[in-house]
Amino acid sequence: MPQVFDTMPELVGSLDTDEDSLRWAARDYGDVVHHLPAAVLRPANAADIRTAVAFARQHGLRIVPRGQGHSTGGQAQALGGVVVDMNQLGAIHDVGPDSVVVDAGARWSDVLNATLPRGLTPPVLTDYLELTVGGTLSVGGLGGASHQHGAQTDNVIELEVITPEGALISCSPSENRDVFDAVRAGRGRNGIITRARLRLVPAPDTVRWHRLRYGTVAELLEDQQHLVVTDAFDYVEGQLKVRDGEDVAELEAVSFVETTSGSGDLDDLFFREVDSETADYWDFVNRLAAGEPVLRGAGLWDSPHPWCNLLVPGTAAPAVLHQIASELGPELYSDFGLALAYPVRTDRITTPLLALPDDDIVFLVAALRYAPAGAAETVKAMQLANDVLVASTLRAGGTLYLDPL
Ligand SMILES: Cc1cc2nc3c(=O)[nH]c(=O)nc-3n(C[C@H](O)[C@H](O)[C@H](O)COP(=O)(O)OP(=O)(O)OC[C@H]3O[C@@H](n4cnc5c(N)ncnc54)[C@H](O)[C@@H]3O)c2cc1C
């Protein structure tokens, strides 16, 4: 144990400095940045975190919360400092008629497992549900329902936060508003979220799920913009990929059958083909779970993921997506990679730290690249391709999503 921790007050949980713990905290889903901390706090309660935050402040150490570690650029790492393993505190508390109280280390799948039996769901979910509530609230949390409901940070009623000074406080739009605004999308640097009261809405039992295939990227984008403006579907998300040597431009347009607010109307759209099915709501929102074993089997789950997440003004989206379409393929994405484009209406976003481009509709564009283990040159080529995308996005007035503050 480094000497600096000799005077750490007693904890109920543990402060771990063994090699396995430090290596765990120095690795994330990106597997590109590896910063070794000096210690990992495994808290038994919020009081342990308060103790560690106050101690770190006194000794000039960085202290950074970590959820599932699904960041791709070291956002949850603390070089020479203390990483707080928030997974230790993941309980689900009260499920009420329109909200649920959860510990920040709970995953969104845990939240749904508690709320769906009561016919309730958070209005916005990330595509992958094995991320922690604290982890996505500290970046924004955007999904296919963001064109209607904004980010996950816009659907939080109240938070319990440990401030950088070590105080435990409640905050909401009407109480300690400055803290509420600083921690939502605050990347864990303006306070540690320990508990959240999340808004819930009625969940449908089933969804009507359309996969629309397009001949051009321009048509795909035009339809996305149209569907966002007309509010015709509850979930809208575009994707570009190459499969079996063929370019695919696809739009998922989904109606929540019993609770839908839109028409679910496919008339007047530019798609060339459509596959439609009715699915259970849970099977739809949990659809990425099936991909994990496939990627593991291909050796691409625990390998580097130099991902690039951009917020692109609607006006610049055609150029950025054309650029992505021209580089798609095994070399810069592997056989499994793809690019996603989630349309977001900026008037639905109220989170001050979620820096959006100046446009009515913006796209979260995610270039999801998978490199095999031990292929440093491939990772470098992917990073260079990301640099090009970032430069053209910033030139067009776009911003970066998920980057460290
Ligand atoms: C497969 C996959 C799918 C994804 N899909 C989406 C998607 O659909 N939409 C989307 O918006 N994003 C998506 N993301 C990105 C994801 O939302 C972020 O990377 C998120 O931060 C990861 O959550 P985590 O629990 O792994 O957090 P970590 O990676 O552990 O931490 C991320 C950040 O949150 C901070 N943090 C963690 N816990 C707390 C806390 N309790 N209080 C304050 N700060 C905290 C950390 O310090 C760090 O800055 C996806 C990522 C992956 C790997």
**What's the pLDDT at 405?**
66
Q: Is 54 within the bounds of a domain?
A: yes
Please check whether residues 228 and 300 belong to one and the same domain: yes
Please check whether residues 72 and 8 belong to one and the same domain: yes
**What's the pLDDT at 92?**
98
Q: Is 256 within the bounds of a domain?
A: yes
Q: Which of 202, 237, 253 is the last residue of a domain?
A: 202
Give the Cβ contact number of residue 205 at 10 Å: 13
Ligand 1 site: residues with CB under 6 angstroms?
28-29, 64-71, 75-76, 86, 104, 126-128, 131-132, 134-136, 138-143, 187-188, 192-193, 402
Q: Which of 77, 85, 126 to mutate to test the pocket of ligand 1 (most atoms within 8 A of CB)?
A: 126
Please check whether residues 227 and 279 belong to one and the same domain: yes
Q: Is 19 within the bounds of a domain?
A: yes
Please check whether residues 333 and 222 belong to one and the same domain: yes
Q: Which residues of 124-154 are buried (b: 16+ CB within 10 A; e: fewer)?
A: bbbbbbbbbbbbbbbbbbbbbbbbbbbbbbb
Please check whether residues 192 and 214 belong to one and the same domain: no
Please check whether residues 231 and 140 belong to one and the same domain: no
Please check whether residues 377 and 255 belong to one and the same domain: yes
Q: What is the Å distance from ligand 1's center to 245 Cα?
A: 32
**What's the pLDDT at 169?**
98
- Amino acid making up residue 97: P
CATH of the domain at 51: 3.30.43.10
Q: Is 178 within the bounds of a domain?
A: yes
CATH of the domain at 353: 3.40.462.10
Please check whether residues 190 and 216 belong to one and the same domain: no
Q: What is the Å distance from ligand 1's center to 141 Cα?
A: 8
Q: What is the pTM of this model?
A: 0.97
Q: Which of 49, 139, 365 to mutate to test the pocket of ligand 1 (most atoms within 8 A of CB)?
A: 139
Q: In ligand 1, which atom is closest to the CA atom of 288? A: 1
CB 108 within 8 A of CB 133: yes
CB 82 within 8 A of CB 171: no
Q: Which of 202, 233, 264 is the last residue of a domain?
A: 202
Number of domains in the chain: 3
Please check whether residues 190 and 255 belong to one and the same domain: no
Q: What is the Å distance from ligand 1's center to 308 Cα?
A: 14
Q: Which of 53, 87, 121 is the last residue of a domain?
A: 87
Catalytic positions: 70, 127, 237
Could you tell me the two tokens for 389? Answer: 């995308």
Q: Is 129 within the bounds of a domain?
A: yes
Residue 342 belongs to domain spanning: 206-400
Q: Is 405 within the bounds of a domain?
A: no
Please check whether residues 334 and 270 belong to one and the same domain: yes
Please check whether residues 171 and 241 belong to one and the same domain: no
Please check whether residues 317 and 386 belong to one and the same domain: yes
Instruction: Give the contacts of 73 (CB within 8 A, at least 6 positions apart).
Output: 28, 30, 32, 33, 402, 403, 404
- Helices 217-230 and 317-327, packing angle to 10 deg: 140
DSSP one-letter string for 72-122: SSSTT--TTSEEEEGGG---EEEE-SSEEEEETT-BHHHHHHHHGGGTEE-
**Each residue's pLDDT tens digit, 25-56:** 999 999 999 999 999 999 999 999 999 999 99
The segments of the chain whose pLDDT lies below 50 read none
